[in-house]
């Protein structure tokens, strides 16, 4: 009653505002009756009453303790030593520490490459305090992943792997590891972003999270709310605050058989050139190498690759990552859109051809390249790492590494770092195909080049030398 009286006095002092007075009286009456969610003729906001429905598909998290108890046994501490075991006395102190997780009773452990890269000897300490020697099975610096094996381990716990493709921004995650040597530290947060490219390597594809990940967390697992590992934590930005990064577990799944079989990553290759198709969630094939795996499978220029082994392909970079991580000899299923028809092809991944580095003379200058010298440029085959650094749309082309001052190429506007992708109307996928295109053009004619400069296409015309 007191609230109603005060409102009435205030309204009387401000003059006739009938609509507002009606609304104010009704809200005051609802407040006195304890029902703030009572609707009015002109509501200004929405509220839920105690029996109203909550957001569909959302469950408010309570304690994470049961999840952490269930998954912690499979998380381990990785200790590395810079000297072989024979040169270390009792009471030895590890050179560095990191984290890892056990895949199964066989004793295989996933960690980061940078944790173990300089190690002469390694140990793995489990959550129950047991300590085992470990050996390196294989590692890959491009993805910062390593596979270890516990020596003479018995009754080993393990984790369960999830599906990182199903992660969404806003999903809750938990990181467990040993930051700064503090055993069994737990942090939690959200997925902040996916497919972050940080410039660490040519196959960058990081999950970003606000769960704290510090040095020592490296190699530890990132869990979802089902207790599944969805990422491998990597402290790739040591001075970051409130930002952590993890390698997606689906990338790890693709990589592990390669590391297990070869001890390092032998990059897969299909023998086709693809470009990004913005807005179409696919990668378009623009060239297929005769005799390559893609050609043998039946792919052709104009096809759009939409899936690899049932997983969607949204960009050229996704396709590059998925194929590069597969071991040569692996069968791969490709979903392809050809015109209006959806088709599926199966190819056997081959080993990426080794492209020789440009030959160097005693003075360090690149040796003569025939017609290319007359143009006043030197070129090198492009690789995935260089393509990523240059912002090129595909890892194929002729990369301009030298430009002669006042030469025909320089006068036409060719610059150091440009990538030649077409010459005289022919696709250029390598130095060899560039030379072939120059040899087949009419003598004395102008030369039209299609180049990419930081990922943007540009057409240049050179006067014939």
Catalytic residues: 114, 144, 218
Q: Measured in whole angstroms, how far is the alpha carbon of residue 138 from the centre of its chain?
A: 20
Give the Cα-Cα-Cα angle 90, 92, 96 (nearest 5 degrees): 160
Cα torsion 223, 229, 230, 231: sign: positive
Contact of 124 with 131, CB cutoff 8 Å: yes
Cβ atoms within 10 Å, residue 398? 28
> If 0-12 CB within 10 Å is exposed, 13-18 middle and 19+ buried, where does residue 392 land?
buried
User: What φ, ψ does residue 258 adopt, rounded to 5°?
Assistant: -65, -45
Closest CA to 398 of 361, 426, 440: 426
d(CA 258, CA 248): 16
């Amino acid at each position: 009653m007191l609230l109603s009286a005060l409102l009435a006095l205030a309204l009387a002092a401000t003059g006739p505002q009938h609509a507002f007075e009606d609304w104010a009286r009704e809200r005051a009456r609802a407040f006195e009756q304890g029902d703030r969610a009572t609707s009015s003729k002109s509501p200004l906001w929405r509220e839920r009453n105690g029996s109203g429905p909550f957001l569909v598909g959302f469950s408010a998290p309570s304690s994470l303790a049961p999840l952490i108890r269930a998954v912690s046994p499979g998380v381990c501490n990785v200790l590395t030593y810079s000297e072989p075991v024979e040169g270390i006395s009792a009471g030895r102190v590890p050179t560095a520490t990191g984290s890892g997780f056990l895949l199964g009773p066989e004793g295989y452990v996933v960690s980061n490459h940078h944790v173990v890269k300089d190690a002469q000897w390694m140990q793995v300490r489990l959550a129950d305090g047991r300590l085992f020697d470990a050996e390196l099975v294989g590692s890959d610096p491009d993805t910062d992943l390593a596979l270890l094996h516990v020596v003479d381990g018995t009754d080993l716990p393990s984790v369960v792997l999830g599906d990182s493709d199903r992660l969404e921004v806003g999903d809750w995650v938990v990181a467990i590891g040993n930051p700064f040597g503090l055993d069994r530290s737990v942090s939690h947060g959200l997925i902040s972003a996916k497919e972050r490219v940080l410039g660490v390597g040519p196959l960058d594809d990081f999950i970003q999270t606000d769960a704290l990940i510090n040095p020592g967390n490296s190699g530890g697992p990132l869990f979802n709310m089902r207790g599944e590992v969805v990422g491998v934590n990597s402290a790739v930005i040591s001075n970051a605050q409130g930002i952590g990064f993890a390698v997606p577990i689906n990338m790890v799944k693709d990589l592990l058989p390669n590391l297990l079989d070869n001890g390092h990553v032998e990059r897969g290759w299909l023998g086709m050139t693809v470009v990004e198709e913005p807005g179409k969630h696919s990668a378009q094939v623009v060239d297929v190498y005769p005799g390559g795996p893609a050609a043998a499978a039946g792919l052709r220029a104009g096809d759009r690759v939409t899936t690899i082994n049932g997983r969607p392909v949204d960009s050229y970079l996704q396709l590059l990552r998925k194929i590069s991580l597969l071991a040569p000899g692996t069968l791969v299923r490709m979903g392809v859109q050809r015109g209006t028809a959806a088709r599926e092809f199966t190819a056997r991944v081959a080993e990426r051809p080794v492209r020789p580095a440009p030959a160097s003379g005693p003075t360090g200058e690149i040796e003569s390249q025939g017609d290319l010298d007359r143009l006043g440029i030197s070129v090198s085959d492009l690789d995935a790492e260089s393509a990523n650094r240059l912002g090129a749309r595909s890892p194929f082309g002729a990369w301009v590494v030298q430009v002669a001052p006042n030469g025909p190429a320089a006068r036409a506007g060719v610059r150091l770092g440009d990538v030649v992708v077409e010459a005289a109307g022919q696709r250029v996928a390598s130095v060899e195909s560039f030379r072939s295109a120059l040899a087949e053009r009419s003598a004395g004619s102008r030369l039209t080049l299609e180049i990419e400069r930081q990922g943007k296409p540009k057409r240049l015309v050179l006067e014939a030398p």
